[in-house]
Amino acid sequence: SITVVIRSPAGLRRSFASSRAVHLSACNHFVSHDDTIINKTETDTHFRLAVKDNIATAGLPTQCASAILGAHASPFEATIVKQLRARGADIVGKTNMDEFGMGSYSTNSVHGAVSNPLSEDERLSAGGSSGGSAVAVQLGDADIALGTDTGGSVRLPAAYTGVVGYKPSYGMLSRFGVVPYANSLDTVGILARDASAISNIVFSTGLHMEHDPSDPTSLSRAARQRCDRASQSQLPSLHNVTIGIPTEYNIQELEPAVREAWAATAASLEAQGARIVPVSLPSTKEALCAYYVLAPAEASSNLAKYDGVRYGVRGADGDATGDTLYSEARGSGFGEEVKRRILLGTYSLSSEAIDNYFIQAQKVRRRVQQDFDKVFGLENPLYEPRQFDLSEMSADLELADKRGPVQVDFLLCPTAPSFPSKLRDLETKSSVDAYTNDVFTVPASLAGLPAVSVPAWPEQSRLPVGMQLIAQYWDDQRLLFMASKLQ
């Protein structure tokens, strides 16, 4: 019999002999592949790692919570999993998610929705798409969980379940063996109870400097060294840190209690010596629309390979050929949201629409990046160092704009505009309503910047509010240090 040790949120330990099935159906955050949860003894060097179902693991299926992948088993393991095994990770299971990472509530899964353990009378969403990973950490089934964050999928579930969710700088952690959703945005993210646990794994063990030749978007060794030299090695003290409050994030739709928690967090940082200043990120309003053009466009191309021939299980008619074979496999294998994204993406890339959608969205993406670069005190280390040529200066708008008065170390804003929704209410919510939930997480994704969601617990509320900190590219270590100060 298998013993599953569950640590309750209060830190109490409850043991259940052979209760895996009960536990799984109650929370549905682990995907119920056989032998996904194994009893391990904890040692100093070993830690329990839960892995999102879109990250390839040896010995366990990798299904992306999609029917089209059946019980697909990858012949190789993702680099990030290997790297963590080498650092003492014992894999406790694959976690439930939105199919292929598409969603914000972990409801778009062939295994059913993930429930938030903080639910009382009614089941609440755990956030998505890495909802299972967040819950595994929240319940203490795992010390660390891997998720993926394309537009907020690690930060949002962290915010809803009250754990820490970190999205690294784009290109820092290897994506080899991670099923692509939108390559130009995809990152592997890490969830844990506290920010220092994440920092220990990523920085104390040198993970952040490991280039992966198998991942074409993994930053080269030379670039890593350059970024490292450019970043400030000194960890911030609250007395010499400037934190920007992006005024555009104070939207009308923001739930009052979330706004209050945001103000309270800023006030507490100020009381501890930080300088708090308002800043403007004018392109924020367009970022969400740009994301929902770019991400489906890339997804439509990535998902073309699931056709029942190259990848994916075939539809019911085993004798089908050609287009019928494809449409049967894709029609029955993909869920509604995935189909919607494929259609959206295929349309926006079509010759009649590309100029109005894809190209415009790329321009917005550039502006979002420039907005961030203007407010951060640190230069973006990916750019070549500037030659200060006075004759060119007036023509260089970007440079002229950089003269603004505030140069901040970090930005502080909520991770999500509201508290977790009831799963029942989500059944009638339109997909566009769901997209709006990503409004605060997509800007950092579009700019490739590191961001972390840290739980704040307002006094009168039994649910946490995720506070998001965003930093300049490759300023991840200081970001996580700052996050640990927020906890």
Query: If binding is defined by CB under 6 A, does position 53 make contact with ligand GLN?
Result: no
| Smallest separation, CB 147 to ligand GLN (Å) | 8
Q: Would residue 129 show up in a list of annotated catalytic residues for this protein?
A: yes
- The residue (of 168 and 244) whose beta carbon lies closer to ligand GLN is 168
Query: If binding is defined by CB under 6 A, does position 187 make contact with ligand GLN?
Result: no
What residues between 397 and 456 interact with ligand GLN by CB under 6 A? 438
CB–CB of 470/480 below 8 Å? no
| Smallest separation, CB 242 to ligand GLN (Å) | 29
Q: Would residue 52 show up in a list of annotated catalytic residues for this protein?
A: yes
Query: If binding is defined by CB under 6 A, does position 149 make contact with ligand GLN?
Result: yes
With CB under 6 A as the contact rule, which of the stretches 72-80, 150-158, 261-269, 413-421 interacts with ligand GLN? 150-158
Query: If binding is defined by CB under 6 A, does position 104 make contact with ligand GLN?
Result: yes
Query: If binding is defined by CB under 6 A, does position 181 make contact with ligand GLN?
Result: yes
| Smallest separation, CB 184 to ligand GLN (Å) | 13
Catalytic annotation, pick one of 109, 129, 283, 348: 129
Query: If binding is defined by CB under 6 A, does position 99 make contact with ligand GLN?
Result: no
CB–CB of 113/125 below 8 Å? yes
* Identified binder of ligand GLN from the candidate list 140, 152, 246, 315, rule CB under 6 A: 152
With CB under 6 A as the contact rule, which of the stretches 75-83, 96-104, 225-233, 344-352 interacts with ligand GLN? 96-104
Q: How do 275-279 and 451-456 pair as beta strands?
A: unpaired
* Identified binder of ligand GLN from the candidate list 74, 115, 116, 153, rule CB under 6 A: 153
Number of residues lying near ligand GLN (CB under 6 A): 14
How many CA atoms are closer than 13 Å to the CA of 47, on its beta-carbon side?
A: 22
The single-letter code of the amino acid at 37 is I
Residue with tokens 């308002």: 278
* Identified binder of ligand GLN from the candidate list 150, 218, 242, 484, rule CB under 6 A: 150
Catalytic annotation, pick one of 153, 199, 218, 421: 153
Query: If binding is defined by CB under 6 A, does position 475 make contact with ligand GLN?
Result: no
The span from the CA of 57 to the CA of 179, in Å, is: 11
With CB under 6 A as the contact rule, which of the stretches 151-159, 215-223, 316-324, 342-350 interacts with ligand GLN? 151-159
| Smallest separation, CB 460 to ligand GLN (Å) | 29
Residue 366 structure tokens: 């550039």
| Smallest separation, CB 302 to ligand GLN (Å) | 12
- The residue (of 258 and 451) whose beta carbon lies closer to ligand GLN is 451
- The residue (of 140 and 151) whose beta carbon lies closer to ligand GLN is 151
With CB under 6 A as the contact rule, which of the stretches 98-106, 278-286, 375-383, 446-454 interacts with ligand GLN? 98-106
- The residue (of 230 and 299) whose beta carbon lies closer to ligand GLN is 299
| Smallest separation, CB 90 to ligand GLN (Å) | 26
Written in H, E and C, the secondary structure of 437-458 is: CCCCCHHHHHHCCCEEEEEECC
Query: If binding is defined by CB under 6 A, does position 129 make contact with ligand GLN?
Result: yes
What amino acid positions are annotated as catalytic residues?
52, 129, 153
Q: Which residues bind ligand GLN (CB under 6 A)?
A: 101-104, 129, 148-153, 181, 295, 438
